[in-house]
Structure 1
Amino acid sequence: MRVLERSIYRGPNLFSALPMIRIQIDLGTLEHWPTDRLPGFSGGLIALLPGLADHGCSYRAPGGFVRRLHDGTWLGHVVEHVAIEMQRLSGGDVTRGKTRSVKGRPGCYNILYHYRDEAVGVAAGAHALRMAAALLPADLARVDGIDLLGVPAADDPLDIGAIADELRAMLRSAALGPTTRALVEEARRRGIPAVRLDDRSLVQFGLGSRQRRIRASMTGRTSLIGAELAGNKHEAKRLLAEAGLPVPRGTVVREAEEAVLSARRLGFPVVVKPLAGNHGRGVTTDVRDEEAVMLAFARAARHGRSVVVERQLPGADHRILVVDGKVVAVAERMPARVFGDGLHRIEQLIEFVNEDPRRGVGHENALTRIVPDAALLATLARRGRTLGSVPLPGEEVRLRDTAKSFRRRHCDRSHRQDPSV
């Protein structure tokens, strides 16, 4: 086999209304070797990927693709289904694909399949080619031109578990945040094309003259001045105060000693955080003494030169999503926590919580897995705890100072937002 071309279609295209990846191959000698002439090939493939038995293919019923294998189909068609199945194993919800011969070029085929993430889709195609080749007799097991796909070969092209783990890791690293993901899913539910444009959550809705772009919940119509003010916590708070809204007293500092003096003037407990940050990075709450202020300042300063020190006010933490001037969803954000049972250590309770299927790494799921890192250990230490402590039955143990997870409080059903927002 030889790879001739690769294309990525991000919107409606000549072959489909769906985003598709196209890999054009020349089967060469394999044009004369459909699957029914390759001893052991079909059985070996199904043993590696049992999920292929669910593919309906042209018969539109489970087992259809297996039937095609036994009746005899060509390697391009096989690669299409393997690329789809590898994406499914990695968590990508894709089912659509087709393989067509290139007119006037015997042995040449366009392999086309749907994708959710471009990089994962291309990698799935490359691994599918190498996998199919590895199942062939030694004198046929070669794929030329595969460097065109830009995907390094796996240590073992038949190690499905390792390849699936690699694809899952790629999906996690490229996952959209909960707000962006909710908006993208809602757009797709309404039949609006949604295309990711970069690795920083820049997304395009629609095509042509009617297209719009967003980044998280900020759109192309968001005021630049408004966005900049929102990114400056101290300035935003000043403007809210001038409008008559209650805000906590605080100051901006650049030195640890200034932070300590500010905390003394404001009175403990205080909150210490970067002036321009997000996602709770570098934020320390419930700071109750000068030594803790020094540590909190060092943590915040890693995210920017200017640091905010302000009085801590009790209350709930909410995130509000507004679309076209209308509140469509409100989420209560809660710091990670576990509840004791009088029997298990905190580290065991964390393991139990992480068994929740809604939890994943980074943004891959609605909730984030709890990782016992340095910040978590410091939070426990401030409360006189360690991972080995055994809390009393029903006792709440806070593991983080800032919130990462969400609990939906309100949602406008006409928008059907994802429950993670």
Structure 2
Amino acid sequence: MTPSPSTTSTKNKKGIFAASFVGTSIEWYDYYIFGTAAALVFGDLFFPGFSPVAGTLAAFATFAVGFIARPLGAAVIGHYGDRIGRKSMLVLTLLLTGGSTFLIGVLPTYAAIGVGAPLLLVALRLIQGFGVGGEWGGAILIATEHASPRRRALYGSFAQFGLPIGVLTSNLAFLLVSSLGDDAFRSYGWRIPFLVSALMVVVGFMVRSRLQEAPEFEKVKKERNVSKVPVAELFRRQPRNLILASLASIAPPAVGYTVIVYMLTYGTQQVGFERNTLLTLILLSTVVWVIAIALSALASDRFGSKRVYTIGTLTAALWPIPMFAMVNTASVGMALVAFMIAAIVQGIMAGAQGGLFTEIFDVKVRYSGISIAYQMGGVIGGAVTPIALTALFSAYNSSTVIACYVSALSTVSLVAILGLRGGAAPGPDSETETSATSVPSGTTA
């Protein structure tokens, strides 16, 4: 007999946490080390004939390619996640992301094989992005679909912890290899964080292969109510929620990638910070990020995920201008405070997002719905942001302009979340978008 969310054993709860948190941490580590390397070293190693600005733009463009593949991965992996199951897709995403990351670590540079180097880098980044595209949705659902309605945000936060932990471990890895010195770092040191991912993937595979399937999806399968073409059904039945959820997903990566990717370039080249200093400050801020996610998830289960997420997008719209002003002082203390507050902003949104997105999509199309929405927001907020900020600063030489750009993206999310239909998703037998009988306490409509 399949256990219901309310009767899930303590042992299985620990397995859910491990599969959602550990696996997601590994995959975001893999993803974020590419962004860090793009900011620090890829321009010189894979695009050496470019000017410094053009080389940085080219490296960030390669970074952005991964985002282009993410919606495709969300649609394809989401399709099979809604038809076959959450567990098998989580194992697949781990292998795709980890394998491509390891291969980047052994990739020859432009000096060794010429134009083939950046082409292979782009190809591996596409595979990496494809795998990550289906990761978040599966990791969220394997947790939230084991939870009672009143604990969905808390369980959804298990996967969200993986984002700051991925940032922390990726920055820590680069901080350690940076101590080798510039020559050693550019020669072989940058490869070490990519190669280490192979060991981490083995651990993640062992954890996820022992996982039980999500009870809500198992019920859909048992009743033979699985959608034949989940994406088509999603667009037919819940287009409004899909569009608004996609727009609402822009703010978290817009703020996040401004700090963890663009700020590494801006802070070193324009403000004068040492590379290791910025890596350390970002690393320290992730501790605050984790705490903010936990508190936000608890608040979401009490007061409603939509309400908490709205507060998060509002702070995301207000914070970029003072954040850049504080970094521009070139004070380590001020920069640390700026990054920590940015981490709180991200944590507020992250803690509410998993529970909210689980509630607004039908079980039959839920993997596809939350994956596509999350990844479409990631393309706009994450892929484009470092490129746009680099180009805007080059054109206007003003941090105010780039801060306003991030604020504008976050404002789009704020407007979208206000129009989003909150509440719980329908059960597998329902043909409506919301079900009054399963709305968590405090959830707003």
Q: What interval of TM-score do these two structures reach, taking the shorter chain for normalisation?
A: under 0.3
Q: Which has the higher strand share?
A: 1
Q: Which has the higher helix share?
A: 2
Give the number of the structure with larger relative contact order, counting CA–CA contacts within 8 Å between residues 6 or more apart: 2
TM score, norm. by length of structure 1: 0.25
